[in-house]
Amino acid sequence: MQLKNDLILRAAKGESTERTPVWLMRQAGRILPEYRDIREKLSGFKELATTPQLAAEVTLQPVDILGVDAAIIFSDILVVPEAMGLPYEMAEAKGPWFPKKITTLADIDQLRVAQAELELDYVYEAIKITKEELNGRVPLIGFAGAPWTIFAYMVEGQGSKTFSNAKKMLYSDPVMSHRLLEKITGVTIAYLKKQIEAGADMLQLFDSWAGILSPAQYQEFSLKYISQICDALPEVPVTVFAKGAFFARKELGLLNCQTIGLDWNMGIAESRTIIGNNKTLQGNLDPCVLYTSFGEVKKHTESMLKEFGSHRHIANLGHGVYPDTDKDKVKCFVDTVKEFRF
Amino acid sequence: MQLKNDLILRAAKGESTERTPVWLMRQAGRILPEYRDIREKLSGFKELATTPQLAAEVTLQPVDILGVDAAIIFSDILVVPEAMGLPYEMAEAKGPWFPKKITTLADIDQLRVAQAELELDYVYEAIKITKEELNGRVPLIGFAGAPWTIFAYMVEGQGSKTFSNAKKMLYSDPVMSHRLLEKITGVTIAYLKKQIEAGADMLQLFDSWAGILSPAQYQEFSLKYISQICDALPEVPVTVFAKGAFFARKELGLLNCQTIGLDWNMGIAESRTIIGNNKTLQGNLDPCVLYTSFGEVKKHTESMLKEFGSHRHIANLGHGVYPDTDKDKVKCFVDTVKEFRF
């Protein structure tokens, strides 16, 4: 199937494009009334994520409603620990948590590794349905959590401001920590390869908790595994988004991937200098800009586009869109990017 | 009163010292059983903070028990909005919150500004008692929140991962935002001058939420006011700790202050290069290191000391010590610094 709009793939590869492509992290979600309608009828997030026909439906919504240049499969990074034998729950206010978490080496040894990716058929099925229904309109992005971020949830058992239990394990037992990170890495590679087989045109790794590690820990416990994943996936363009890892931008620029995501703290010109010219940059508007007026959204978006320049940029926010953002402001952001010409 | 140990003041001023001075943010608090004993007998945090004799007592505890090179007055940054007419509550699990918050210009106009610092007599009284009881053993640090961080709480009404309401106000109504920031700045200067009069030997500004602003917003809405405060306080050494503001280190280095605090994400050598040689650096051990073994605490602390070098460094963590940290590990951190020789 020939893609009718392959702007984002060309931008990722460093080819020239007629305009800057645009999508949003968390574009399939609570910002859309059409999503909330579907979600309300279900028992919870997990029913939606594990029912391929429904997951495909909400994946397509932002393409139809917002006109973004890519779809991203509706799922969660925590499906990987679940496939390894550590199921997660999604509590409405509290966020995700794990009834069983990792505290000992025995816990790690009991994890399922060989063919764990086969537990995630519902994701591949959702990708296949989405690809059919997209019918080549825009590319489909697959994704996974980076191993450190998955490790953080598996050890902490829930979200945390400090992830101090997870960091404690890194400091106190690096050997055990590496054993768990290796297992996560292996399953993640197999999982992402299956996503490509099912039809994902592009992949993104989310290292959501990159920013709570020291630079030395980040090198040892996160970048090493991200690098292995990038090396294992030559088939499609890969984006690495390491939120808060300003201190690792130079090393991120050396990864075997096409695109580096920036959060809104990371200066655009400075990041380009540090990362170099061989990567596409993605981001990085402050999600809070979308709380303001249409005029301000347009002004800040255009200013961001000018600073990134016409080459090797994929427009996005510097974080997932906040769930209480007005859909029309999101549309204004998307339209501003699509109408802008250098 | 001549100070018997003025290491920290000399280090702040760039004078040479026999060894690196050391203290910890949140050293007076839950890590000490002696603190918890006092706290349990009281109705809550606010009773402790507003009773000068008790506040002085817990301020002195870490000097006696941990042997740190400075005391920091036991209080909270939120006493400033309270003095301006916006009282805060301290909920045990939830953290601080404001029953009344700032949403309109009328709310701002109603704030008390002239002589608001006179509402905070209990702080000055606690400082006086502490100074007497310290009897010159070590210097006493006074403090306040940086205006942006105080603004963030006054507008948001509580802690938040995103402070999206506060950031929304900055983006949508910069004129109103500046009016509030100016008021906070004026009261903060008067408050800190009173702390000096009462006996504070040194001051620290905490910009706890620096890291959620974009670099441009940080310049306009935070650094501007921190700079005004630094200029207004030539009497004693001032430390600015802007957590997460890696992107503003160059500008922090140009402030009219003596010391810049680093969090554990900020590389030591890199920060020295960016900030320059005219500032003392404070920090920056990852608080999670104190969860590990005595051997690891010693190893990481010594490695940090070597990287900062013997000149213009005040040893500290890169954040407040976590409340569930073992007191003996904190003592090990302090002792390692005190025993280390270059």
pLDDT of residue B12: 98
pLDDT band at B271 (very low <50, low <70, confident <90, very high): very high
Residue B200 has pLDDT above 90, yes or no: yes
Is the minimum CB–CB distance between B145 and chain A shorter than 8 Å? no
Tally the C-alpha atoms within 13 A of residue A220's C-alpha that lie toward its C-beta: 14
Q: Do B215 and A267 touch (CB under 8 A)?
A: yes
Nearest to A171 among B212, B296, B322 (CB): B296
Count of H helices and E strands in chain A?
A: 16, 9
Is the minimum CB–CB distance between B244 and chain A shorter than 8 Å? yes
* Mean predicted confidence (pLDDT) in B30-42: 96
Phi first, then psi: give them for residue B60, nearest 5 degrees: -80, -25
- Report strand pairing: B238-242 vs B202-207: parallel
**Which one of A177, A222, A265, A332 makes the best mutation probe of the B interface by having the most chain B beta carbons within 10 Å?**
A265
User: In the numeric block, which tokens belong to residue A99?
Assistant: 């009834």
Active site residue B30: yes
Which of 205-234 (A) contact B at CB < 8 A? 211-215, 217
Q: How many CB pairs under 8 A join A and B?
A: 84
CA quadruple B98, B103, B104, B108: dihedral positive or negative? positive
Residue A212 has pLDDT above 80, yes or no: yes
Nearest to B267 among A215, A267, A296 (CB): A215
* Mean predicted confidence (pLDDT) in B62-90: 97
User: In the numeric block, which tokens belong to residue A205?
Assistant: 């790794």
CA distance B215 to B279: 21
pLDDT of residue A94: 79
CA distance A42 to A48: 7
Contact A217, A167 (CB under 8 A): yes
Is the minimum CB–CB distance between A323 and chain B shorter than 8 Å? no
CA distance A214 to A109: 27
Nearest CA in chain B to A324: B164
Is the minimum CB–CB distance between A164 and chain B shorter than 8 Å? yes
For residue A37, the distance in angstroms to the closest alpha carbon of chain B comes to 25
Of the candidate ranges A250-254, A258-262, B42-46, the one whose mean pLDDT is the lowest: B42-46
Q: Do A322 and B162 touch (CB under 8 A)?
A: yes
Q: Do B291 and A266 touch (CB under 8 A)?
A: no
What is the CATH architecture of B7-339?
A: Alpha-Beta Barrel (3.20)
Candidates A57, A106, A111; CA nearest to A80 is A111
For residue A172, the distance in angstroms to the closest alpha carbon of chain B comes to 5
The CA–CA distances, whole Å, from B111 to A129, B81, B150, B153, B254 equal 58, 9, 14, 15, 32
Cα B299–chain centre separation: 26
- How does pLDDT run across A324-335, given as a tens digit for each residue? 999 999 999 999
**Which one of A170, A171, A274 makes the best mutation probe of the B interface by having the most chain B beta carbons within 10 Å?**
A171
Residue B1 has pLDDT above 90, yes or no: no
User: In the numeric block, which tokens belong to residue A193?
Assistant: 């390869």
Q: Which residue is associated with the tokens 């645009």?
A: A22
* Mean predicted confidence (pLDDT) in B130-138: 98
- How does pLDDT run across B151-195, given as a tens digit for each residue? 999 999 999 989 999 999 999 999 999 999 999 999 999 999 999
Is the minimum CB–CB distance between A13 and chain B shorter than 8 Å? no
| Beta-carbon contacts of residue B184 (< 8 Å; ≥ 6 apart) | B80, B81, B84, B147, B150, B151, B154, B225
User: In the numeric block, which tokens belong to residue B263?
Assistant: 């969090």
* Mean predicted confidence (pLDDT) in A259-282: 98
CA distance A304 to A314: 11
Residue A92 has pLDDT above 80, yes or no: no
Nearest to A296 among B171, B211, B289 (CB): B171
- How does pLDDT run across B238-266, given as a tens digit for each residue? 999 999 999 999 999 999 999 999 999 99
- How does pLDDT run across A38-68, given as a tens digit for each residue? 999 999 999 999 999 999 999 999 999 999 9
pLDDT of residue A91: 83
Active site residue B39: yes
Active site residue B26: yes
pLDDT of residue A319: 97
pLDDT of residue B316: 98
Question: Could you give the percent of chain B with pLDDT greater than 90?
Answer: 98
Residue B293 has pLDDT above 80, yes or no: yes
| pLDDT mean across residues, chain B | 97
pLDDT of residue A93: 74
pLDDT of residue A248: 98
- Report strand pairing: B89-91 vs B95-97: antiparallel
Domain ranges across chain A: 7-339
Any idea which residues of A carry the catalytic annotation? 26, 30, 39, 76, 153
pLDDT band at B69 (very low <50, low <70, confident <90, very high): very high
| Beta-carbon contacts of residue A191 (< 8 Å; ≥ 6 apart) | A80, A83, A116, A117, A120, A123, A144
The three-class DSSP label of residue A204 is: strand
The CA–CA distances, whole Å, from A155 to A54, A142, A171, A220, B312 equal 31, 25, 13, 17, 38
Q: Do A288 and B162 touch (CB under 8 A)?
A: yes
pLDDT of residue A1: 72
Contact B235, B196 (CB under 8 A): yes
Burial class of residue B151 in the structure, from the number of CB atoms within 10 Å of its CB (0-12 exposed, 13-18 middle, 19+ buried)? buried
Of the candidate ranges A87-101, A125-139, A263-277, B240-254, the one whose mean pLDDT is the lowest: A87-101
